[in-house]
C-alpha cells in the first residue's frame, strides 16, 4: 500500500521532492542527502496523462580522490584472499562555486583518530575492526554512524552483489564491491535507497578508478 506519494505533473530532475512519486511510467522513490541525490524505480504502473520519469543519480560533492582510492586498493591487495570492509564519510561542506576542487585541502578539524589508513580530509576512510574470511567480513561495530559509501572486497571472487547484500543494504548510501583482488580487479557500484537499488558507474564516485579496476556495470 502506497501511503504517501506525489503525482508527477511538471516535475523535473531539478525540482523533485523526496519521497514516492507517481509518474506515467511507474512509481519512483526520490532521495536527497548532502552527498548525493537519486531517483530509483519502485513499481511498474502505467498511468496515461502523467509525464514519465527516469532513474538517475548525481553526486553532490567531489569524488573520492585518487590518493584514497589507491590506499584502499593497496590495503585490499595486502590480503587479497580475504573479504575486507571500508566505510567512507564526507566531512565538511562543499559547493562548486566557492569551495576547493576534488581532492582539496585537508581540514584540521576532522582528525582521523584511530583510522589505520591515515586518510583525513573531506573524505574520511574508516577501516573498522573486522573478522575476515575468504567469503565473509563481519565488522565489530557495524555502522558506528551512517556511512555515505560502503566498500567491501570479494577476495578472489568476482565483483557482484549477493543476496545477503540485498538483504542488509536497507539504508540510503552508495555500495561498492571490489572483486578478483588477486588479479585484475573488478568493481561494481550501486546506490541503495531503502531496499531499492540503482546500478551506477564507479568512475562517478572514485577518481581515476580505471587505473586499478575493470568496470562492471551490470549485476
Which domains occur in the chain, in start order? Answer: 6-59 (no CATH), 66-215 (3.40.140)
Buried b (16+ CB within 10 A) or exposed e, 12-47: eeeebeeebbbbebbbbbbbeeebbbbbbbbeeeee
Cell reading at 43? 513499481
Other Cβ atoms closer than 10 A to 102: 14
Distance, CA of 78 to CA of 84 (rounded, Å): 11
Q: How far apart are CA 202 and CA 159, in angstroms?
A: 12
pLDDT of res. 94: 52
> Taking a C-beta distance cutoff of 8 angstroms, is the pair 84, 154 a contact?
no
Encode the chain (219 residues) as per-residue pLDDT tens digits.
455 566 655 566 566 788 999 999 999 999 999 999 999 999 999 999 888 899 999 999 999 999 999 999 999 999 999 999 999 999 876 555 444 334 333 333 333 334 444 444 589 999 888 888 898 888 876 556 789 999 999 988 889 998 888 888 888 999 999 998 888 899 999 999 999 999 999 999 999 998 888 776 543
pTM given for the model:
0.80
DSSP secondary structure letter of residue 121 = S
Q: Any alpha helices (H) in 63-139, and if so which ranges? A: 66-78
Q: β-strands 149-153, 172-179: how paired?
A: parallel
pLDDT in tens, 33-66: 999 999 999 999 999 988 889 999 999 999 999 9
53 by Cβ neighbours in 10 Å (0-12 / 13-18 / 19+) ranks as buried
User: What pLDDT is attached to residue 10?
Assistant: 58
Amino acid at each position: 500500500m502506497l501511503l504517501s506519494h506525489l503525482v508527477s505533473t511538471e516535475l523535473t530532475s531539478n525540482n523533485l521532492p523526496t519521497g514516492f512519486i507517481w509518474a506515467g511510467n511507474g512509481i519512483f522513490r526520490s532521495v536527497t542527502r548532502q552527498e548525493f541525490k537519486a531517483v530509483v524505480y519502485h513499481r511498474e504502473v502505467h498511468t496515461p496523462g502523467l509525464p514519465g520519469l527516469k532513474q538517475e543519480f548525481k553526486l553532490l560533492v567531489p569524488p573520492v580522490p585518487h590518493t584514497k582510492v589507491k590506499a584502499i586498493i593497496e590495503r585490499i591487495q595486502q590480503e587479497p584472499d580475504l573479504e575486507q570492509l571500508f566505510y567512507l564519510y564526507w566531512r565538511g561542506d562543499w559547493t562548486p562555486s566557492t569551495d576547493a576542487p576534488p581532492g582539496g585541502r585537508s581540514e584540521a578539524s576532522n582528525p582521523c583518530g584511530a583510522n589505520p589508513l591515515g586518510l583525513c580530509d573531506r573524505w574520511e576512510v574508516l577501516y573498522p575492526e573486522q573478522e575476515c574470511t575468504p567469503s565473509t567480513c563481519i565488522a565489530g561495530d557495524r555502522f558506528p554512524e551512517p556511512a555515505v559509501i560502503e566498500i567491501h572486497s570479494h577476495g578472489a571472487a568476482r565483483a557482484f552483489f549477493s543476496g545477503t547484500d540485498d538483504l542488509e543494504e536497507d539504508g540510503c548510501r552508495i555500495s561498492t564491491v571490489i572483486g578478483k583482488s588477486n588479479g585484475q580487479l573488478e568493481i561494481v557500484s550501486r546506490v541503495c535507497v531503502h531496499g531499492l537499488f540503482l546500478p551506477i558507474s564507479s568512475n562517478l564516485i572514485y577518481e581515476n578508478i580505471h587505473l586499478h579496476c575493470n568496470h562492471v556495470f551490470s549485476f
